[in-house]
Structure 1
Amino acid sequence: MVFNPVDKLKYLTAALLAVVLAAGCASEAEGTVKLTIATFGEFGYDPLLKEYEAAHPGIRIESRVAEFEAHHKGAATQMAAGRGAADILAIEEQYMPQFRQSAAKFVDLARFGARDLQTRWPQWKWEQGLGPAGAVLGLGTDMGSLAMCFRKDYFGQAGLPTDRDAVSRLWPTWEDYARVADQFSAKVPATKFADSAGGIYTAILNQSPENFFSASDDSFIADRNPGLQRAFTLAGQIGAKGQTARVTPFTQPWNVAIKQGSFATIACPAWMLTQIQEAGGAENAGKWDVASVPGGGGNNGGSFLTVPAQSEHPQQAYELAKWLTDPAQEIRLFSASNILPSEPAAYRSPAVLEKVDPYFSGAPIGRIYAASADTLQPNYRGLKDAVVRPTFGTALGRVESGKQSLDAAWNQAVAEARAAVS
């Protein structure tokens, strides 16, 4: 058969298209499903995802990891546009109220039997993952129950107890913590007592049932919530005395301050231990220890795995999310990365309770964080929590730097917050 150049080109194009279509059909025939999972920071999922792929030959998983704010802003844009979102989208608990208002853009996981899993989690954690009409939007991953990390070498220099149980007894309340700060600063003036006023403020605030908005009707209550003003005042007073290193967690200055030993205490959820160790390096091993947090309880962190409605494989996405949040996997994540499970069956397991951390002077971190987890109570996050919360943190920064008095900073923060939600 003889072709002219035009016919030859048409023939070759048709043949190439046939090969491509055949390859596509072969792939579909093999049943390969590509799933994407988007998280922020490090969830420790990489080895688990490889294991899941090995056990499910028809599944291929792509992991996307972004910085905290970029992840959530990008997710909001993708959900609004109806395209671009991962099959599994991790959402941190402070952002859940915002995304809950777009519940229709998520798969109701009850379709696949998620309600049968409800008893895995404490009621407050389960309810954080529900939509306005009770749809199951997400399955809980970790939680951020609090403890207090402290430099026992600096406490010794200040003439304070260094035994973790004795240190815990120093501060049953945050007012006691402030008094210890005064004692410490009088004896070791070259070292700051805490990393930042914002960190202290957040820890106190997370022990309160309500913050900026009413749990009953989501109305703005920041200007009349005594718990909020107490947190702001206590943290601001410590900052105004120059007892903080004025470093924002997870920034480069914060990492440097840890490495250089610039401060002596920090309210630390379990997941923060890894960051402290990485920032501090081998030379600071054994200098840190872990005590109870003043006030008892409080939660800082914890996320949910959701499935956007735009996913082409919601059933398979749900099955992967279900497996990742199973207590067995949660226990393994804590063992490897100090990511505390949110299921009581997991954090009360021997594998968690028996864990100690050599870097933190052999502290029994499993027992400490499990005890803290058992005290957690619901902490209502309003629909615009993520909008208002930074306003007060910025105000405390002005107090720390001496740019504004505590009262003036409070009044400005309240006014700015009210304007942001009006």
Structure 2
Amino acid sequence: MASGLRKSLLVIAALTGLVGAGCAPAEDQGIELSIATFGEFGYDSLLKEYEAAHPGIRIQNRVADFEAHHKAIATQLAAGRGAADVVAIEEQYMPQFRQSADKFVDLNGFGAGGLRAQWPQWKWEQGLADSGRVVMGLGTDMGGLAMCFRKDYFAQAGLPTERAAVAALWPTWEDYAKIGDLFSAKVSSAKFADSAGGIYTAVLNQSPENFFSAKDDSFIADRNPALRRAFTIAGQIGAKGQTARVTPFTQPWNVAIKQGSFATIACPAWMLTQIQEAGGPENAGKWDVAAVPGGGGNNGGSFLTVPTQSKHQREAYDLAKWLTEPAQEVRLFTESNILPSEPAAYGAPEVLSKTDPYFSGAPIGRIYAASADSLKPNYRGLKDAKVRPTFGTALGRVESGKQTLDAAWDQAVTEARAAAS
């Protein structure tokens, strides 16, 4: 799943579902499938249901944090053993693993090509390999963005607190930065945002290209105006001391949410659960959700793949197929705030009608569905995962006062070029 960047652990239990061909042998012989994932996939109840509906199938779950999960996949593919039957790959790692497409089952062989209409073209194409001839993975969620904000702090700053009026404050990220100045001049008990890195990621993910050219995968970080704009907006907010300087999904970030240390955070749907868990019941009703500056943008989203190592490829595919069907994606949103990547799912009445009492009754279904509709593809280069961290680290140096914005940019570009070479 969800993006770029979801690194919290989810205990994923046993699997469930209505699978077609290939089930009878499983019931006769007994098959143990394994699934490897990370973060907030929300699969608990679905996995149990799947297993209950298929008595001959047992599911072993494997859960690791974000980075460890993807490093393990690379190691297992290289060794030719150890991979799970179903493996989740986050979107920023898909370009890297497409280079090893021969180590994944071409799901066309099980009829995956007939599922194409379930997803928007951009999401479907992210799961393809070998110039589109191979279906390498089936899309799970996506990380359509909104902006979570603290109503009480906005009131203290003399700013609007009604979500539509708040969204009107920041049609662009430059406007968002101006609101940060107004907020910081009035409120001393909280910072405007959680981190420069979070702002930077949200701005950058609204751009069609980041560090590499969509045309030929060449390195363009040193000349991409969208990248420099995102770095400058986020860096200036950080340099002014308007961020809480907490890295998302760390313990200090959780503590900052609980203590009310910041007032805004760009939040994909899957993050709502994490904010609620970190904030606890005492912060219920203090948060709300508005449209994000710039509209759209994606932070997260994954694909379910089947490595060729699997001894039960058909059963693994059936499981991945069922987990990514619209009916299951609807449930994942209504139960766990996991935003569907399929229009039939995020446009479903159950999704559109969902509100969240913790976030002041915000109509999160409509907010995130609108974000999903405006989402545009964001090209991830083959070495995106190696290059991306250099800019986040550079912003950390700006936030802490260790480097000027320009010096941090120059160093980040130099390090990124080296990482890409």
Whether these two folds match at TM > 0.5 is yes
Give the distance between the partners of 1:28 and 1:382, measured in 2 at CA.
39
Which residue of 2 is the match for residue 324 of structure 1? 323
- Decide whether aligned partners of structure 1 residues 141 and 418 sit closer, same or farther in structure 2, where only a CA change above 3 A counts: same
CA deviation digits over 1:26-67, x for unaligned, max 9? x99931111000010231212111111121122111111111
Give the distance between the partners of 2:376 and 2:146, measured in 1 at CA.
15
Question: Within the alignment, does 1:239 sit opposite 2:242 as a pair?
Answer: no
Pick aligned residue for 1:121 from 119, 122, 137? 119
Q: 4+ runs of 1 displaced by more than 2 Å?
A: 27-30
Corresponding letter in the other structure for 1:266:
I
- Contact kept, 8 Å, 2:129 with 2:136, in 1: the verdict is yes
Alignment of 1:153-172 (within 5 A): 153-172=152-171
Question: Within the alignment, does 1:97 sit opposite 2:95 as a pair?
Answer: yes
Deviates further, 46-55 or 343-352: 46-55
Give the distance between the partners of 1:28 and 1:186, measured in 2 at CA.
65
Which residue of 1 is the match for residue 144 of structure 2? 145
Which residue of 2 is the match for residue 370 of structure 1? 369
Corresponding letter in the other structure for 1:274:
T
Which residue of 1 is the match for residue 13 of structure 2? none
Pick aligned residue for 1:67 from 58, 65, 80? 65
Which residue of 1 is the match for residue 348 of structure 2? 349
Which residue of 2 is the match for residue 214 of structure 1? 213
- Decide whether aligned partners of structure 1 residues 136 and 182 sit closer, same or farther in structure 2, where only a CA change above 3 A counts: same
Corresponding residue SS for 2:266: strand
- Decide whether aligned partners of structure 1 residues 28 and 288 sit closer, same or farther in structure 2, where only a CA change above 3 A counts: closer
Give the distance between the partners of 2:50 and 2:379, measured in 1 at CA.
35
Question: Within the alignment, does 1:260 sit opposite 2:259 as a pair?
Answer: yes
Corresponding letter in the other structure for 1:112:
F
Give the distance between the partners of 1:421 and 1:178, measured in 2 at CA.
31
Which residue of 2 is the match for residue 35 of structure 1? 33
Give the distance between the partners of 1:418 and 1:166, measured in 2 at CA.
42
Q: Using structure 2 for the length normalisation, give the TM-score.
A: 0.93
Which residue of 2 is the match for residue 24 of structure 1? none
Corresponding letter in the other structure for 2:57:
I
Which residue of 1 is the match for residue 22 of structure 2? none
Q: Using structure 1 for the length normalisation, give the TM-score.
A: 0.93
Give the distance between the partners of 1:70 and 1:44, measured in 2 at CA.
19
Corresponding residue SS for 1:254: helix
CA deviation digits over 1:134-155, x for unaligned, max 9? 2000000000000000000000
Name stretches of at least 5 consecutive residues in structure 1 with no aligned partner: 1-26
- Contact kept, 8 Å, 1:42 with 1:65, in 2: the verdict is no
Deviates further, 178-187 or 126-135: 126-135
Corresponding residue SS for 2:128: coil
Give the distance between the partners of 1:373 and 1:302, measured in 2 at CA.
12
Corresponding residue SS for 1:258: helix
Which residue of 1 is the match for residue 285 of structure 2? 286
Matched residue count: 396
Q: Report how far residue 191 of structure 1 moved.
A: 1.2
Give the distance between the partners of 1:232 and 1:398, measured in 2 at CA.
12
Give the distance between the partners of 1:133 and 1:167, measured in 2 at CA.
43
Which residue of 1 is the match for residue 296 of structure 2? 297
Corresponding letter in the other structure for 2:372:
A
Corresponding letter in the other structure for 1:404:
Q
- Contact kept, 8 Å, 2:27 with 2:54, in 1: the verdict is no
Corresponding residue SS for 2:129: coil
Q: Report how far residue 133 of structure 1 moved.
A: 3.2
Structure with greater helix percent: 1
Give the distance between the partners of 1:163 and 1:359, measured in 2 at CA.
15
Which residue of 2 is the match for residue 17 of structure 1? none
Give the distance between the partners of 1:170 and 1:347, measured in 2 at CA.
27
Give the distance between the partners of 1:376 and 1:65, measured in 2 at CA.
29
Give the distance between the partners of 1:29 and 1:305, measured in 2 at CA.
23
CA deviation digits over 1:245-285, x for unaligned, max 9? 00000000000000000000000000000000000000000
Q: Report how far residue 308 of structure 1 moved.
A: 0.3
Corresponding letter in the other structure for 2:229:
R
Give identity over the alignment, percent: 82
Corresponding residue SS for 1:63: strand
- Contact kept, 8 Å, 2:217 with 2:381, in 1: the verdict is yes
Corresponding letter in the other structure for 1:156:
A
Corresponding residue SS for 1:420: helix
- Contact kept, 8 Å, 2:170 with 2:179, in 1: the verdict is yes
- Contact kept, 8 Å, 2:295 with 2:374, in 1: the verdict is yes
Give the distance between the partners of 1:29 and 1:127, measured in 2 at CA.
34
Compute the RMSD of aligned alpha carbons: 1.0
Q: Report how far residue 190 of structure 1 moved.
A: 2.8
CA deviation digits over 1:330-358, x for unaligned, max 9? 11111110000100000000000000000
> Larger Rg: 1 or 2?
1
Give the distance between the partners of 2:294 and 2:236, measured in 1 at CA.
18
Give the distance between the partners of 2:44 and 2:366, measured in 1 at CA.
27
Give the distance between the partners of 2:73 and 2:370, measured in 1 at CA.
34
Give the distance between the partners of 1:187 and 1:129, measured in 2 at CA.
47
Give the distance between the partners of 1:100 and 1:187, measured in 2 at CA.
50
Deviates further, 106-115 or 61-70: 61-70
Give the distance between the partners of 1:246 and 1:350, measured in 2 at CA.
39
Which residue of 1 is the match for residue 248 of structure 2? 249
Corresponding letter in the other structure for 2:37:
T
CA deviation digits over 1:197-233, x for unaligned, max 9? 0000000000000000000000000000000000000
CA deviation digits over 1:139-181, x for unaligned, max 9? 0000000000000000000000000000000000000000000
